[in-house]
Amino acid sequence: MYEIPPTAAMQRWSVSVDGTRAIFACAPWLEDHTADRVLPRLWPGRGLGVSDTDAAGFAAAIAETMKAPSYWIASHAAARAWQDQPWSPARRDHDDGFVYFAGPCGESGTAVGYRPAYHLPLALRDLRGLRIRLAAYLRGARIPG
């Protein structure tokens, strides 16, 4: 396992690469005692959600991870046609300020619904598609990314 060097653009995000997956972690704000309001959300095997304030940092963390040699090895080994997009377009929930993407995040389980999570495990081969969906959302929302 190795760590992706953090950049200022990644903001609160950090990334570890373990074999063929990346594990994204978003540090909670120190002054906010309700972690469930600021942590990313995970529905194991079904999708993920990040707050609007963390979306640009998440996009930067994905971009930095895609620079790693292990990303290129994994994406080449599992080459997909561009139309085999595993991620849905972004769905923003205006009530909670989160943006959600259905797709392959974490291991499928029996849990139902999105839950706060300290880590978002993603297969390296699936990062490109998520980066595309996230960039499209940020461009449409006019959030710098």
pLDDT digits (tens, 9 = 90+) for 66-108: 999 999 888 876 665 555 778 999 999 999 999 999 999 988 7
Q: What is the largest CA-CA distance in the chain?
A: 44
Convert the pLDDT of each residue in 23-79 to its tens digit: 999 987 655 555 666 799 999 999 999 999 999 999 999 999 999 999 988 887 666
* 100 CB-near residues (< 8 Å, 6+ apart): 41, 47, 48, 49, 90, 91, 92, 93, 114
Q: Give me 107's structure tokens.
A: 């291991």
Instruction: Indicate the residue type of 90.
Output: A
* φ/ψ bin of 113: left (φ > 0), alpha (ψ from -120 to 50), beta (otherwise): left
Convert the pLDDT of each residue in 112-142 to its tens digit. 888 999 999 999 999 999 999 999 999 987 6
Angle between helices 127-141 and 69-77 (to 10 degrees): 110
